[in-house]
């Protein structure tokens, strides 16, 4: 049982390049989330998926797109990276409804945009 | 909008008790969660309050007062390994506080 896995662990991009961050969970959770965390800050929600086939914007969705590929996988895409997107990105999953407050986080992806 | 406010830093002595406060403003309310994050690591879930009162989980307890839009995390018998950042979050996982960095000193 790996929990929540994320790839890659580290990435350096040039401004304007695109990339996709991958996330998968093996806990059969319905809900999945993408957050970003800037130095010394809390987590800010980018997008979430309450269940397979649905996605919703969070607090800071601009510059990102997501895909809920199936129940296990939830990817985050940066179409044209900007230095302001330099951050640590965390994927998380939880049950839907009762129990949703308990989130399980992946190890994070550290992204540097030059 | 929604906001969750916490003190930025707290320092406490090993073996002591420390309280980390969280005041919130939310348009809807789904309870209050608490997470711990060590430097370079991922957040891990600690506790959740759906209703008013105290929830106890070992050395950690969490309290909620919905009428005051206020909660706190209480850490007892502090250990050096408790040095970390602590975040409150809305129970629907949509909003997190800015975090409190706890430093435990000998």
pLDDT digits 0-9 by tens, A29-64: 999 999 999 987 889 999 999 988 899 999 999 999
Q: What chain A residue is nearest to B99 in terms of C-alpha separation? A: A42
Q: Which of A36, A93, A99, A101 to mutate to test the interface with B (most CBs of B within 10 A)?
A: A101
Q: Residue A1: what pLDDT?
A: 73
User: What would the two tokens of residue A2 be?
Assistant: 């790996």
Give the span between the Cα atoms of B82 and B103, in whole angstroms: 8
pLDDT tens-digit readout, A80-96: 999 999 999 999 999 87
pLDDT band, residue B57 (cuts 50/70/90): confident
**Pick from B33, B41, B87: which is nearest to A101 by CB?**
B33
Listed in order, strand segments (DSSP E) in B26-80 are: 32-37, 44-49, 53-57, 60-65, 70-75
């Amino acid at each position: 049982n790996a929990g929540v896995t994320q790839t890659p662990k580290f990435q350096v991009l040039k401004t304007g390049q695109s990339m996709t961050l991958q996330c998968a969970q093996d806990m059969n959770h319905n809900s999945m989330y993408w957050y970003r965390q800037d130095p010394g800050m809390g987590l800010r929600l980018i997008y979430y998926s309450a269940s397979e086939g649905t996605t919703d914007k969070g607090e800071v969705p601009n510059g990102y797109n997501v895909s809920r590929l199936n129940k296990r996988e939830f990817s985050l895409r940066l179409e044209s990276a900007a230095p302001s997107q330099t951050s640590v990105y965390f994927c998380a999953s939880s049950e839907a409804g009762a129990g949703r407050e308990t989130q399980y986080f992946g190890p994070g992806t550290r992204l540097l945009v030059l | 909008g929604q906001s969750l406010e916490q003190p930025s830093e707290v320092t406490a002595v090993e073996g002591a008790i420390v309280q980390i406060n969280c005041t919130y403003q939310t348009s809807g309310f789904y309870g209050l969660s608490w997470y711990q994050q060590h430097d370079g690591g991922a957040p891990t879930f600690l506790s959740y309050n759906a209703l008013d009162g105290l929830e106890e989980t070992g050395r950690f307890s969490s309290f909620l007062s919905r009428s005051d839009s206020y909660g706190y995390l209480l850490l007892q018998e502090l250990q050096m390994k408790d040095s970390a950042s602590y975040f409150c979050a809305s129970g629907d996982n949509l909003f997190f506080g800015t975090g409190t960095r706890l430093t435990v000193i000998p």
